[in-house]
Structure 1
Amino acid sequence: MVIPISGLAMLIICRYISILSTLRGQMSMLTTYQPDMSIEKGLIDMSFRADQPYNDLPPLPPRQDIETKAVLKACIEARAALAELRVSGQLIPNQAVLINSIPLLEAQASSEIENIVTTTDRLFRFANEPGNQADPATKEALRYRTALSEGFQTLTERPLSTSTAIAVCRTIKGVELDIRATPGTALMNEATGSVIYTPPEGQALLRDKLANWERYIHEAEEIDPLIRLAVMHYQFEAIHPFIDGNGRTGRVLNLLYLVDKGLLDIPVLYLSRYIIGNKRAYYDRLLSVTTDEEWEEWILFMLEAVRETANWSTARIRAIRDLLNQTAEQIRHDLPKIYSRELAEIIFVNPYCRIGDLVTAGIAKRQSASVYLKSLTEHGLLQEMKAGRENLYINPPLLALLRERPPARSDR
């Protein structure tokens, strides 16, 4: 349904368009992005109905000014926290220590948002297990980790795109899939069973909206990247391009976007933990953008999520670095004959360490590797656990660090 604009309102809008055209001329040196704003067509979109496909989902950029004073202030704070996280990540020379830990926690939390629940211990135990005998929930969370890792690798070849989203979702779901072609997708209220949102339908329309989403990501350069992050995440959720896996795919894309825009070097922001701690607010604010165009509250929520989880992730990285250095020093002091920095690092890269991990890393041959791990166990640095025909050597202090969760913010 569309509402005609009155004569007086049309004069006001014409004046607005004139000002907007002037501003666009001034911005022409900064960007070639040409937004398609429905207000410029003399129409206001009032077509949303929860039980009908939202084919009139407005294109990006949002119709209203989203860079409010509150948003810009929150953005500065979030950018500062993210910059500190980026620097902290560089303090550990062996980046595998971080890549093998925090992204697994992100995988666990993002899966939990979709009620796919596993534990930190199960994730780390089965992360590198040949054949992987894990339970279904753990396997699905591990596929999220794989999707994030593979997506991160592709950024060296091409920027974030619709193709990236398709590849990520395929990996998460473990099946070949494409943009939705069949109707019938609807989002339900778990408590009442009522439909709260029906995304757009029709593969051609969805690809059109994804093309607009992609242009906004890369061309709306006058908007701060963190504000764009909030906008792109909403729009992807609203488009809901896949039959399943949209939420997790969108959250992987968030982290890849931060790397793509140079705000992080590696995807070590534990963003989903904030969302799981504020799940109701997350979904309420998403829906409020759709029903009432309440962009400011949504963007503020996402900026706070970035700020708080960046601070938490920075603290975890520093704690991991300190623990690694302490462990290395203890091995050097107590077990000088087997000491190497690589030996200390391998039990942080793999908190559930196997003899084969040392062999693969070139630290020792199989028999010596077994002796090394048993020596570390005897000196209280590791715990030994039988797992089928092999032994696992667990790093309890590291796992304890990784189990600590960022606090939920009930006031948001």
Structure 2
Amino acid sequence: MRAVWLWIATVLALAAPAQAFDTNATSAWVYDVQTGTVLMEKNADVPLPPASMSKLMTLTMLFEAIHDGRYTMESTFPVSVKAWRMGGSKMFVEPADTPTVGELINGIIVNSGNDACVVVAEGMAGTEEAFAERMTERAAQLGMTHTNLTNASGWPDPEHRMSMHDLGLLAAYMIREFPELYEKFSMTSYTYKGRVPSNANNRNPLLRLGTGEWVADGLKTGHTQEAGYGLVGSAIQDGRRIIFVISGLDSDRARAEESERIVNWAFREFSMNTLVPAGETVMEAPVWLGTESRVGLTTEGGVNVLVPIAVRDQVRVEVVYDGPIPAPIAMGDPIARLVVTVPGRPDTVTPLIAAADVPEAGFIGRMRGAVMQLGQRAISAVTG
């Protein structure tokens, strides 16, 4: 195994040292989507009452059904008496209504309609209980290991639980798989059939708190007496997206302030660094018994690394391979690894591929290569 250290410090931007961050939330999870880096977590895998944030799972079930062609945005669902009688936040549907899927999505996202969630659950599974079982099963399939759902709305129940990590994974899934539907999370107000509820405006504070440097576009608030005030949020700056989940704040104002603090911290204290641009040769590795003595090493899509500004000068980059690399080599063959070490974080490992074909040498070339190798071994034996 051969390792070659590369010093690429020039790509790491100079800036003020990062400041330590401690959230006031009782549970939190902050995630950089592009690099898959968890920036901060606090009690993130503890199953907690998610309140209305669990409505994201109800929406996910509906989004998947739309994507699969089972429903369209114009499909309609009946409104049961149970749905009509739901308390808390409402879209204000009535038993005589037949709201469309599109209207129900708006009512869940903007109005946080408990009634709309029951309409969707009964329309898709017959009963809310059956729908909750399906949601819990689907959550497990998506890797959400600390989720158990007993209803579609997040209504208080001692068995209705999700971790902040699970909610963050769910948010990332929705953003990645349903970009055209995800756009609805940016809606700031919605009223069904002219009925003006007190919650006609989206409660997500981030939609009103963009600094100009970043813009928020989702996702869902939550509040019950047991859960406190929480938010699943997402924001973008210069093409970089972060997702965060917080819970346990003591007021909607505290939720808004903490959300803004987290977004500002995540964008200001971590820098995205392009260590290797797409298509650029990282280095050349020696070739054994080939028509060429060396082959270029490159990546499929470049290497981007998220670096805490405070440790930017401690990043190490290493190329690891077994060499010399025997011919024949086909362009695109994975023949090495680029290992980026950032203090305090797991290594980032990227396959390095051959930048060109290197056919096996002919008989004379192989003989010359063997003689050279024997000579090198003899020198090593004498000097060793």
TM-score (normalised: structure 2): 0.30
Quick check: which has more Rg, 1 or 2? 2
TM-score (normalised: structure 1): 0.28
Higher fraction of strand: 2
